[in-house]
Chain A
């Protein structure tokens, strides 16, 4: 059957309407291969151009704040893993520091430095995912495959510290459950030697790439004023030109000891967000290097027997250790009444914990200030009038993580 015969038989007529001027509703998501996670956007499009967007969130809401009200303090750490699962250790440490602030624990310098190493590794892993995925969304798959190999090495380092890779549950209230092993130091040194070269290779693939620059400069921009009004934090705010970094403004975990720069952008577009993250990875490497060189001696946990589990062999031998072990496991240690807000610079910016304690075994109220949830509001404003493919790019460069968005 020829083409003409088919047309005549089935009465097929070519559309005479043009796309211009006709507004279509497009459902992008909830599960769409171009959005990394469960995001739904209802778009009004005129051809390729977006006129209006509305996000739907809550697809993976797991009621973490409610769950936390029934859990003893040390059992909340695994919940925090599942917020921004690209940089779980930062969430874990942030939670530990919040509880330590509540109970007024005195943390040894060594713990601070160990935490800094782990947190900066997590930041590198987080930014690597984000930046290599920006590459994927512009059609450059190569960088992604190489950078995910590097991320695997960071996960090997996590594994060396705590045995887990993705949802790490690393550390304890008061410090770490064990000291870093010699293998960890060997692996970390190897990583610090090899990673910069591989990373620069990735950088040279994209940073000054004509096609990549044409594609990302001007895509999804936001001004500094609007970014502040939308409570942007982290790399997204710094890309717009505001040098707000919790590590510097409200130093925690001895960040004041380290010498590092805060990279800022000017336009707040996808390219600036990409470049800010690129530079931050380099700064994080410097911080790790400094922490490793100046690692203080001392204990790897604070001396807070009523919160930090005694060594297991002690529990079998000494009465005191057995009592503390029992009390901690049963959540029967006295906790001060009070409320604290503590924030850390997570992969996406200020990750805050607002904790209210009434002295009981569980928090009375725990609220997570999740950076993604707050800055994702600006998404429709950022993509309005842009092309559909730029909208995808904008979302991946904002590094919206579904776990953090929905809590």
Chain B
């Protein structure tokens, strides 16, 4: 199986459609493709229908509060089972506009993954049939995986890790 050539073909195909903002091959030889949230659904549909990425491995989010204008990130891992090729799709979101198109029309499995991402990061998946909290209690009024919610009370003096902490 020629995985490396197929991933090049994927990048080529995405480029020809103008979906790629940028892409990075990291030190682990994994492909990170950055796309815009506006045409994310078209990109995923194209990858699914034309390039055979029919298996949604994972969908999650991250929070980078110090990155101005792209504080949130949606991270999607897709796999082409025939070519055994995996690709990581990322989309940066500004904290002022946390909207990302729902992929539920393409992958049924993204339903709960999106609910989980909404639950923990507050990313609004537009077009999701039932965007509710999933793991946390329904009346929780914040999104706990955001970095501003430290796990431990930051005001505790006895937990001051000046020398060994971050």
Instruction: Decide yes or no whether B15 CB sits under 8 A from chain A.
Output: no
Q: Are B136 and A228 in contact (CB under 8 A)?
A: no
Q: Are A338 and B28 in contact (CB under 8 A)?
A: yes
Instruction: Decide yes or no whether A137 CB sits under 8 A from chain B.
Output: no
With A58-B135, A61-B135 in contact, is A338–B108 under 8 Å at CB? no
Q: Are B151 and A69 in contact (CB under 8 A)?
A: yes
Q: Are B57 and A352 in contact (CB under 8 A)?
A: yes
Enumerate chain B residues within 8 angstroms of A250, measured Cβ to Cβ. 84, 86
With A70-B151, A231-B55 in contact, is A362–B166 under 8 Å at CB? yes
Complex: chain B residue closest to A69, CB-CB: B151
**For this complex, into which size category does the number of interface residues on chain A fall?**
35 or more
B145 CB contact (under 8 Å) in A66, A226, A331, A352:
A66
Instruction: Decide yes or no whether B62 CB sits under 8 A from chain A.
Output: yes
Minimal beta-carbon separation of B65 from chain A (angstroms): 11
Q: Are A406 and B81 in contact (CB under 8 A)?
A: no
Enumerate chain A residues within 8 angstroms of B30, measured Cβ to Cβ. 340-341
Complex: chain B residue closest to A360, CB-CB: B166
With A58-B135, A231-B55 in contact, is A377–B109 under 8 Å at CB? yes
With A67-B151, A330-B164, A362-B166 in contact, is A230–B135 under 8 Å at CB? no
Q: Are B77 and A66 in contact (CB under 8 A)?
A: no
Enumerate chain B residues within 8 angstroms of A229, measured Cβ to Cβ. 54, 107-109
Q: Is the interface of A mostly helix, strand, loop or mixed?
A: mixed
Q: Are A354 and B27 in contact (CB under 8 A)?
A: no
With A230-B108, A373-B112 in contact, is A354–B58 under 8 Å at CB? yes
B26 CB contact (under 8 Å) in A331, A339, A352, A354:
A339
Enumerate chain A residues within 8 angstroms of B136, measured Cβ to Cβ. 58, 61
A70 CB contact (under 8 Å) in B60, B107, B109, B152:
B152
CB within 8 Å: A-B pair count: 95
What number of B residues sit within 8 Å (CB to CB) of A? 37
Most chain A CB within 10 A, of B60, B63, B137, is at B60
Contact code string A324-346 (vs B, CB < 8 Å = 1, else 0): 00000011100010111101000
Minimal beta-carbon separation of B9 from chain A (angstroms): 19
Give bound CA distance, A339 to B30, whole Å: 9
Q: Are A374 and B108 in contact (CB under 8 A)?
A: no
Give bound CA distance, A67 to B164, whole Å: 18
Q: Are A101 and B28 in contact (CB under 8 A)?
A: yes
Q: Are B151 and A331 in contact (CB under 8 A)?
A: no
Q: Pick the 7 closest A-B CB pairs, nearest first.
A: A231-B109, A58-B135, A61-B135, A369-B58, A367-B60, A70-B151, A360-B166
Interface residues of A (CB under 8 A from B): 57-58, 61, 63, 65-67, 69-70, 101, 226, 228-231, 242, 244, 249-250, 330-332, 336, 338-341, 343, 350, 352, 354, 356, 360-362, 364-365, 367, 369, 373-378, 406-407
6 further contact pairs, Cβ within 8 A, besides A229-B108, A250-B86, A376-B112: A229-B109, A230-B109, A352-B57, A369-B77, A374-B112, A377-B111
The 10 sampled A-B contact pairs (Cβ below 8 Å) are A65-B145, A228-B81, A230-B109, A231-B55, A249-B84, A332-B164, A352-B77, A361-B164, A367-B58, A376-B112
